[in-house]
Amino acid sequence: MAFKIVRNDITKMNTEAIVNTANEQAAVSTGCDIAVYNAAGYEELLQYRRTKIGAVPEGEVFITPGFKLPAKYIIHAVSPKYLGGNAGEEEKLRSCYRKSLLLAKAQGIRSIAFPLIATGSFGYPKEEGLRIAVDEINAFLLDNEMTIFLVVFDDRSKTLGKRIYSKLEEYIDHNYVENKSSAEYGNFRPDMGMAHAAQGMSVPQMSSPQMNAPQMSSPQMSAPQMNRKASAAKPGLLGSVFGKHKEKSTGRFYAEDVPADSFEASEEVDFESVHESRLEERMKHISDTFSQYLMYLIQDRKMENSEVYKRAIVDKKIFSKIKNNPDYHPQKLTALCLCVGARLNLDESKDLLARAGYALSPCDKTDIIFSYFIENEIYDMIELDIQLEEHGLPCIIS
């Protein structure tokens, strides 16, 4: 048995069956539905639906031949329209996945591809729709053998994937390859040391992918001087796990944001007076545990707990344990996902992870990919999971 999230056109999936997001009436809707009809043979499939199926209520499923598709069968799941979440949409959406899988099993189907049902033109929130899909697919696979794909192919995913891939490769090469070499062979480079200094960190001496929390070194130059050197050391990159990065919520002033001839003016800005209240508030939480600091960050952002764990694709029961037990020690991947779910910047993520005894390692590709997504404010667990899969790493969701 297997479950994977992939980026592909569902009409091109070479599985025994694909699932379509169908309409209640014998009519074709937008999005996935019309794409499936066009690929299968619009008139032929529509005629089959009208003469042999007819109207079907939301949450129910039916099966048709695949016609011109590579798949032998199409399982049509009549998707619920999202009306705010209090009209029984969740149970109907769960029913779509559950009954599609049971119908596939009854037909002897061994491989099937799902879209992210109802999250397009039907309006279901993407993160919540994904959580439901993962719940139902994993529950089915506990007692059944089947190869299941969750296919992501909306315009945003295609655009984001193309934009991310080349920059992510560059980011991995710069951070993982060089730091792995340094860790294994000791060929430390001056520019790597400069990047560490720019973050106020000592050079890591790593013997395993999981490092201890970074230790702060005594600064040898003023903050504006460090920022100028960091900016010069790493031109052209979106950023580095140890290099410069944009921080929209920390109030730091960076060289690229201020003209060179205005540094004296920027140095006159009193950081503590401008940000005194936020700094004092942060200082109150300096001894917080992972749980306490996470709850503070969520509250500070005026976010709902449910918003965070849903975006992070973290089980509600696990999140409740973290919330209700100040000394709860989450697994590292759970902690990383919560950094994404809470939309933390890179410094906040490092701080939160350190409170659970973790650090982002430049010798671990999973950590590097998480760092890239967090640093570039791409808080999308589906895309992150796809990138892990495409880089041959264990996935988080699937």
For the question of residue 33 being annotated catalytic, the response is yes
**338 pLDDT higher than 70:** yes
For 79-115, b/e burial (b = at least 16 CB within 10 A) is bbebeeeeeebbebbbbbbbbbbebbeeeebebbbbb
Element at 150 (helix H, strand E) = strand 147-152
pLDDT tens-place string over residues 75-119? 999 999 999 889 999 999 999 999 999 999 999 999 999 999 999
Residue indicated by tokens 């007819």: 54
- The residues, any chain, with a CB within 8 Å of residue 77's CB and separated by 6 or more, are 19, 20, 21, 22, 61, 96, 97, 99, 100, 117
User: How confident is the model over 214-273, as pLDDT tens digits?
Assistant: 333 333 444 334 443 443 433 333 333 434 343 333 333 333 344 444 444 454 555 555
All structural domains of the chain, each given as residue ranges with its CATH number in brackets, are 2-153 (3.40.220.10)
Ramachandran category for residue 357: left, alpha or beta (phi over 0 → left; psi -120 to 50 → alpha): left
Q: Which residues contact 9 (CB under 8 A, 6 or more apart)?
A: 35, 151, 153
The token duo for 223 is 């903050």
Of the residues 9, 33, 173, 364, which is catalytic?
33
Cβ-contact 384, 164 below 8 angstroms: no
Can you tell me the distance from the alpha carbon of 24 to that of 15, in angstroms, rounded to the nearest whole number? 25
* pTM exceeds 0.85, yes or no: no
Encoded tokens for 344: 């933390």
DSSP secondary structure string for all residues of 214-246: PPBPPPSS-HHHHHHHHHHHSTTSS--SSS---
Q: What is the mean pLDDT of residues 209-216?
A: 38
